[in-house]
A and B are shown apart, each in its own frame.
Chain A
Amino acid sequence: SVLLYQKPNRDICQSGTSLKIQCVADSQVVSMFWYQQFQEQSLMLMATANEGSEATYESGFTKDKFPISRPNLTFSTLTVNNARPGDSSIYFCSSNWGGAETLYFGSGTRLTVL
């Protein structure tokens, strides 16, 4: 398995600002995934990030709004640009250590946009 650490645990920001969410894995992983979860809803895959290549975004998510960096095999950063109240949700990083189908998740970052 793999342990994923996210920071910050929570953040409050003003509309129009940008913020970064960091995810660190305790071992090297090929793929990292970012999910968005609105209150009392399921998880929505935002993007897949592999080391050394541009992230692949799912429908409804764009690179301009949610740029993702993946500089090495243990680290990824999700940025929320021009934050809006509609972006208020929990963001999770995830990985399938060893390329297996099982997903492991960080503890999440709860974002509130005022």
Chain B
Amino acid sequence: GDSVTQTEGQVALSEEDFLTIHCNYSASGYPALFWYVQYPGEGPQFLFRASRDKEKGSSRGFEATYDKGTTSFHLRKASVQESDSAVYYCAPGSGKLTFGDGTVLTVKP
């Protein structure tokens, strides 16, 4: 079945740093991956969907590209802000309703 592995449990950056969060994806079919963000005290929010080889998804300055060679989707942002501090989850598509372990992003001013 489809499964995801987030390799970074925690990421600490300063404002304007470049962000990369890795999500390794094992898919039995057509790969599509969702990114969600959870701010403290809130439920997860849909960030965007990415699919296909090299087809990017993007939202709020975040983007993700599927790397067919490594079967990975990497969440990237060129310049993070303190307000981006949150937990980021990747989740496989295909109605699996499961989530990765999450990556806690802390951005210092």
Which residues of A are in contact with B by a Cβ distance under 8 Å? 4, 33, 40-43, 45, 48, 92, 94, 96, 101-108
Question: What is the size, in residues, of chain B's interface with A at 8 Å between Cβ atoms?
Answer: 22
* Contact mask for chain B residues 1-24; partner A; CB cutoff 8 A; 1 contact, 0 none: 000000000000000000000000
Nearest A residue to B44, CB-CB: A105
Contact between B49 and A102, CB atoms less than 8 A apart: yes
Which residues of B are in contact with A by a Cβ distance under 8 Å? 32, 34, 36, 41-46, 49, 89, 91, 93-95, 97-102, 104
Chain A contacts for B98, CB-based, 8 A? 45
With A42-B102, A101-B32, A102-B34 known as contacts, the answer to whether A33 contacts B43 (CB < 8 A) is no
Contact between B42 and A107, CB atoms less than 8 A apart: yes
Contact between A108 and B43, CB atoms less than 8 A apart: yes
